[in-house]
Amino acid sequence: MENYSIYLFAFGLTLFAGLSTGIGSLIALVVKRDSTRFLAVALGLSAGVMIYVSFMEILPESHLALVKSFGGGIGDALFFASFFGGMLVIGFIDKIIPEDMNPHELLHHPVTGAEHLALDGRIGRDHAQLHRTGLLTALAIAVHNFPEGMATFAATLNDPSLGIAIAAAIAIHNIPEGIAIAVPIYFATGSRKSAFTHSFLSGLAEPLGALAGITILVPFMGPATFGILFGLVAGTMVYISFDELLPSAEKYGAHHLSIYGLIAGMAIMAVSILFLGHHH
């Protein structure tokens, strides 16, 4: 019974961490749709969160685990392979998503007649690009929430108080992540519901990761598996930040706004990690 309740507790923590993506999207949806300055800062913010977490948290963990498992040479090689492998995978996904998501799709979105007249090709392309940024961000975040869910779960089984610290840190990460998904989709489609749904669903990858952790990985969950997963995740997040988030942020605001957002995102992450204890 004792065992069962710790599993339940670990799963509950993961669910809480994942669903805070929804909180971020709710914050995003309160904002006026035409405030592109907010969009620039929010996109910069989420890039800052992703880049900081990747380099300061996830990659060191990955490297440590792989070197511990395989020793210096092979561990280092696997570490590089999984980091750049993550970039290759997301780059490939990026390639197969159609370039501008077909501007005709935009006509299905609830826009007023006046906005229809304004939807010349350029705006259509901008909207499509934003929509794609939102969907790619949702995908990347879902991909990285999955192993995060496993990590939270595994850590909680190991030491419940550590699990609480990690879940809280992840919940704080997930709020700006929710903003990062919801804002572009809302700006592109004008639909609050679509924006909330996408960010909510990508947050659900967190508890799904915990479930996968329970079923598939518990037998194999050595440091090696963790190391490779974390390397892939970091590669994915860094790629998305540089390829999607920052260029979009740049496009929607003054150059400095996206950079202020970026720095603020890094600072928020640094502080949350400082106060909520480290992943170890």
Predicted confidence (pLDDT) per residue in 138-186, tens digit: 877 777 677 677 777 777 776 777 677 667 767 766 777 787 788 888 8
> Helices (H) and strands (E) in the chain — how many of each?
11, 0
- The Cβ of residue 212 has, within 10 Å, a number of other Cβ atoms equal to 17
**pLDDT reported for residue 103:** 30
The tokens of 125 are what? 């392309």
| Alpha carbons 131 and 173: distance in angstroms, whole number | 22
The tokens of 11 are what? 């799963």
Predicted confidence (pLDDT) per residue in 196-251, tens digit: 888 888 888 888 877 877 777 667 667 788 788 778 878 887 887 888 778 878 87
Predicted confidence (pLDDT) per residue in 10-42, tens digit: 888 888 888 888 888 887 777 665 667 877 887
> For 57, left (φ over 0), alpha (ψ -120 to 50), or beta?
alpha
The tokens of 225 are what? 């598996």
Q: What angle do CA 262, 266, 269 make, to 5 degrees?
A: 140
- What dihedral angle (degrees, nearest 10) is formed by the CA atoms of 163, 168, 173, 178? 110
- Per the CB < 8 A criterion, the answer to whether 130 and 248 are in contact is yes
Tokens 């502080």: give the residue.
271
